[in-house]
Structure 1
């Protein structure tokens, strides 16, 4: 190889090396901005990619809370509706009960009034049927005979009258203070001169418990005479 060829070769090598170095430098300069630009672009892109992820994570929480609130609200509405329904039912039941009670009271009052009317009418009829006895010997005997009839005590008007006249002359306050009964401390008293032990034993319920009461005295004496003699009609002397 000649010397020229050798120099040319070296010169070309230097040139090539320089060009290569310049190219590398240019490439390095050109790449550096590109690299920075890519990094700058990459960062917003990364941010954009993260943002949707964050939204995706937050959205279910919001929806879940909304659903819970809606469920709670629905539960409150339902509870309020149930409470209102129960209250309305209770009020209706109370109204119905009050009406039933009022009707029952009205019915009871009507029944009581009807019973009172019936009792008053019965009493009025009984009073109308009840005989009025004179307050004298005749009336006392007649009243005594009606009571004796109810208690199945035998005796007649004549039998009572004759014995009353003989024993007391028709004086209901007559009292014997001289016979053996008086000496023993139990004097004979009244229309038919009955002593206290006999009167108490043969007293008829419904009459006064007094020897001086004319009707009570007659009925007790007639009851005693019926037990001992068969009837007051059979008594013709002291008995």
Structure 2
């Protein structure tokens, strides 16, 4: 969680750290992944590999989804924890939502949305994907293979993976585990989390988003090609990792408030 003095501007930096708000759409973002060698004619071996993919196109992959609860009048953290066993008890529930609740766990306002745990679901590729792959296999031996776009799931897993791809192109170090660990500590995976109680908030620059970045830091370490909205999950992760790389060497080296 953010603490006093978090994300202060480096004294030697002359960057103006403002931000332009752009609404998030809730739609999975996609970035083109360009092959290092460009388009090329497929070999018979490649055609056989694509054909094999077509046969197994309908696969299931696990996704992690956040479980949330909207606070109603008369609710307490204890009663909410009892209704939602995955929250781990009222203390863990409070720690996971401290950025939303504030400093007093006894004061929760009706209408607040709290994260009460996660669940794993399975998504299966559509039959249309299998048909498209089969068509590609038939023509792979004689036609060039164009660069394809990678799509990402619109959840924490997808946001981290997309950020890692952007970071790899920009030369920013970091791993999935390092990002995930810090996201869960800072915001419990809530991209709209905001800290309205610490010294940064008092100064008019509250910490925002998955990795709780203040606007000046977000703007200074914003990575080109990502949204300029600090609440955008991918932009927030990428900028925070860029900042962590500059100050700590990598987000993997961050194990507490930074």
Normalising by structure 2, we get a TM-score of 0.44
More helix by share: 1
- By relative contact order (CA 8 Å, sep 6+), the higher-ranking structure is 2
